[in-house]
């Protein structure tokens, strides 16, 4: 079994607002293996980004990590991030854990050159001269395949296209050789060609640096291309967790099945409407009782409305121990689906 880099157990992150307590992340447990990629997928509002921000302790008031453990394994040491003093946590950000945020234009300072911003990150974590930090910035721009890196390091963010700004953010994130890179929607607003280039770049840099990646996305195509393991979230909870090939072969939770069913299918008529999951993600102020997915679930039964499921391995012979699901009736649903396929 691959050694873990990060282990999250029973994480709860809540926001204490005037309208009530927003339970954005509730009892989330997951593992990011060393040198591997974990994909975090789900609709907007499921808790994916809040989970990532909890790892690097960037939850601003009125948000708070209420309980749970986030263990980071660094050179044989177990570091508990939830209780780490803020001064020590600042040293971890960038040097050990780095994050690429969703929109690179708002993450880069428009009044400083991209080279100076990368060099600042280097000097913050390493005792090097300004010249050495600048040389490292140019080197990183070259590594992320920005042509004429020496000249472009002296340019400003508005001189770069969206795809190039994303490469600058990757260069900044990797400038201090972090062990974990959190990529929050790294291909948002990019066309498919640039998206493919950015994902290829991330894979190549992961091999070169030996880092782990937590990639957050709505796009199952990105998950299929990048992830080794997949965590599906819905309404603050992990509803399914499996190796990527296993999940794509045997999705078990009704929500995961709905995500797969809503994808365009090659060879289908262009005028055929895509299938959708009825309803919307519930407000975290007003989560339904029992299973949070039951108001949208075609398989829901009376038990689902009253009793919260637990994350468990279903009793199915073809399912490996690493595949767990948050559903009372995963076995029955799988049997129904198999019977329906055989009858066609």
3-state secondary structure the chain: CCCEEEEEEEEEEEEEECCEEEEEEEEEEEEEECCCEEEEECCCCCCHHHHHHHHCCCCCCCEEEEEEEEEEEECCEEEEHHHCCHHHHHHHHHHCEEEECCCHHHHCCCCCCHHHHHHHHHHHHCCCCHHHHHHHHHHHHHHCCCCCHHHHCCCCHHHCCHHHHHHHHHHHHHCCCCCEEEEECCCCCCCHHHHHHHHHHHHHHHHHHCCEEEEEECCHHHHHHHCCEEEEEECCEEEEEEEHHHHHHCCCCHHHHHHHHCCCCCCCCCCCCCCCCCCCCCCCCCCCCCCCCHHHCCCCCHHHHHCCCCCECCCCCCCCCCCEECCCCHHHHHHHHHHHHHHC
- Tokens representing 344 are 């066609």
Q: Where are the domains of the chain?
A: 4-232, 253-343
CA distance 94 to 77: 18
Q: In what order do the strands lie in the sheet with 63-74?
A: 20-33, 4-17, 63-74, 77-80
What is the model's pTM? 0.92
For domain 4-232, give the fold. Answer: Rossmann fold (3.40.50)
- Residue 317 has phi, psi (to 5 degrees) of -60, -30
Check residue 341 and give its pLDDT. 67
- Residue 229 has phi, psi (to 5 degrees) of -130, 155
- Tokens representing 49 are 């980004």
Provide the residue-wise pLDDT of the chain in tens; the chain has 344 residues.
Answer: 578 999 999 999 999 999 999 999 999 999 999 999 999 999 888 999 999 999 999 999 999 999 999 999 988 899 999 999 999 999 999 899 999 887 766 788 999 999 999 999 999 888 899 999 999 999 999 999 999 999 999 999 999 988 899 899 999 999 999 999 999 988 776 788 888 888 899 999 999 999 999 999 988 989 999 999 999 999 999 999 999 999 999 999 999 999 998 887 777 777 777 788 998 889 889 899 999 999 999 999 999 999 999 999 999 888 899 999 999 999 999 888 877 766 65
């Amino acid at each position: 079994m691959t050694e873990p880099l990060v282990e999250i157990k029973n994480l709860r992150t809540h926001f204490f607002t005037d309208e009530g307590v927003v339970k954005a992340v509730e009892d989330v447990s997951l593992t990011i293996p060393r040198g591997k990629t974990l994909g975090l997928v789900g609709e907007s509002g499921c808790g994916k980004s809040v989970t990532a921000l909890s790892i690097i302790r960037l939850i601003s008031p009125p948000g708070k990590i209420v309980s749970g453990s986030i263990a980071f394994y660094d050179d044989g040491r177990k570091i508990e991030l939830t209780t780490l003093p803020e001064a020590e946590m600042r040293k971890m950000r960038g040097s050990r854990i780095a994050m690429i945020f969703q929109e690179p234009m708002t993450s880069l300072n428009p009044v400083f050159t991209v080279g100076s911003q990368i060099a600042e990150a280097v000097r913050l974590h390493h005792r090097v001269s300004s010249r050495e930090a600048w040389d490292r910035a140019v080197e990183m721009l070259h590594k992320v395949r920005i042509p004429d890196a020496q000249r472009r390091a002296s340019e400003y963010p508005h001189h770069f296209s969206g795809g190039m700004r994303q490469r600058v953010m990757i260069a900044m994130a990797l400038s201090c050789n972090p062990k974990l890179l959190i990529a929050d929607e790294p291909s948002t607003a990019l066309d498919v060609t640039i998206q493919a280039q950015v994902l290829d770049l991330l894979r190549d840099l992961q091999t070169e640096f030996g880092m782990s990646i937590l990639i957050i996305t709505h796009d199952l195509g990105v998950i299929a291309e990048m992830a080794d393991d997949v965590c599906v979230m819905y309404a603050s909870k992990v509803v399914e967790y499996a190796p990527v090939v296993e999940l794509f072969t045997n999705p078990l939770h009704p929500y995961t099945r709905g995500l797969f069913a809503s994808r365009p299918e090659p060879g289908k008529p262009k005028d055929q409407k895509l299938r959708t999951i009825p309803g919307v993600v519930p407000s975290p102020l007003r989560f339904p009782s029992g299973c949070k997915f039951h108001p949208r679930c075609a398989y829901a039964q009376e038990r689902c409305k009253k009793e919260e499921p637990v994350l468990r391995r279903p009793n199915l012979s073809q399912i490996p121990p690493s595949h767990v699901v948050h559903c009372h009736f995963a076995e029955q649903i799988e049997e129904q689906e198999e019977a329906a396929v055989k009858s066609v």
